[in-house]
Structure 1
Amino acid sequence: MKVFSSQCSFDYPWNHVSASAWKKYPNEMSTHVIAVDVLRREIDPTTGVLTTERLITCRQNIPSWILALVGGSNISYVREVSEADPRSRSLTLRSVNLTMNHLLSVNETCVYHPDAVDANKTIFRQTARIEAYATFQRLCNKIEDWSVDRFRHNAAIGKVGFESVLRRLAETVPDVSMFKESAVQAA
């Protein structure tokens, strides 16, 4: 098993980032995502937590040696369950691969929360636990190493793509101050 983790900061307040997260796809940097379907969405009446379950369809650049070994297609499906908590001001997304999960299990958790020092910034933490299942440990290691490299590559591209989504939303919303923490607290 291998673990990938990263952390970065976005120069937008949590309200803006959490609103933009629903519009993350499509974007020009994440062309591998070809569809996002909402399967379920509900609000807990006692906590106010919004839970959303989505199916994400991706076209993956899977090495031919992996496809030759296991068969299959370069189209894959990911189940994502998110919880947006307005009280604790956190957005947590948990995803798991549905395709080829008997050969490779990828459990990813992404969390967005306000920066404790600067309310106009949002901290993003991403962790993925990657585990390959094969008879030979050497093959497992190779698949896991490749998967971690893909995560590292996709995380860098994903950040650039999400930044463009954040900018677009800031440009299209007439009163960007609605995303400023000071304006939200004053309301």
Structure 2
Amino acid sequence: MKFFESTYEFDYTWEEVSTGNWRKYCPWNKQTTHVIAVDTLQRNVDPATGILRTERLITCQQSAPKWLMAFLGGEDRSYVYETSYVDPAAKKVTMCSQNMTYADLLSVRETVVYRPSSGAPNARTEFHQHAKIIAFCGGWQKVKNSIEEFTVDRFRQNAIKGREGFEAVLEMSRKVFAQERERQALMQAARM
């Protein structure tokens, strides 16, 4: 069993980050071209807490070597099941994901949390990512360790790319927020 952790602070408000999060896999995000579909399976708001719970299926184009795909008998697509919780009262987004493809060989459970920064709660958002990776290889400890280490390294590389792509999405979202505020100010001024 191996773990991966990453923390980062985005120079955007929690409102910008929690809204931009839904656009993370948009077509113009050059860092997520491997994501070919995001299907919302279920979405509801708890009337007592106001928490938005969403279940999604994320379909990705595999980038594993062809020889490995042939060995495993797999196809070039992989699937990830994600459940997210947006708590507007606590200003917290929690996203939990689990691989569905090759789940009998490798378990990857990831949790991501976005919340206002403790140092600048009205200007920055803290990001925390945690992944637990377990390879199932029976008694082959050396193979198991190699698979888990490879997966952690891949996670590390993808975390950097993901952060870069999300920064671009957030910048676009910031522009949209600014345009909307300007439009509302103009409408309010016109009413006076």
Give the alignment's TM-score, normalised by structure 1: 0.91
Match in the other structure for 2:11: 11
The answer to whether structure 1 residue 132 and structure 2 residue 138 are counterparts is no
Gaps of 5+ in 2: 183-192
Sequence identity percentage: 47
| Residue deviations 1:43-97 (CA, integer Å, cap 9, x gap) | 0000000000000001121134532432212210000000000111100000000
Aligned length: 177
Q: Is the 8 A contact 1:170 1:176 kept in 2?
A: no
Match in the other structure for 1:25: 25
Report which of the two has the higher share of helix. 2
Higher mean alpha-carbon deviation, 137-146 vs 100-109, is at: 137-146
| Residue deviations 1:83-125 (CA, integer Å, cap 9, x gap) | 0001111000000001110000000000000001102000000
Gaps of 5+ in 1: 178-187
| Residue deviations 1:141-177 (CA, integer Å, cap 9, x gap) | 1111111111000000000000000001111231469
Shift of 1:31: 1.0
Higher mean alpha-carbon deviation, 26-35 vs 109-118, is at: 26-35
The answer to whether structure 1 residue 169 and structure 2 residue 173 are counterparts is yes
User: Per the alignment, in what secondary structure is the counterpart of residue 151 of structure 1?
Assistant: helix
State the structure with more CA Rg. 2
CA RMSD of aligned residues (A): 1.3
Q: For 2:162, which of 155, 158, 163 is the aligned residue?
A: 158
Give the alignment's TM-score, normalised by structure 2: 0.88
In 1, the alpha carbon distance for the partners of 2:76 and 2:150 equals 15
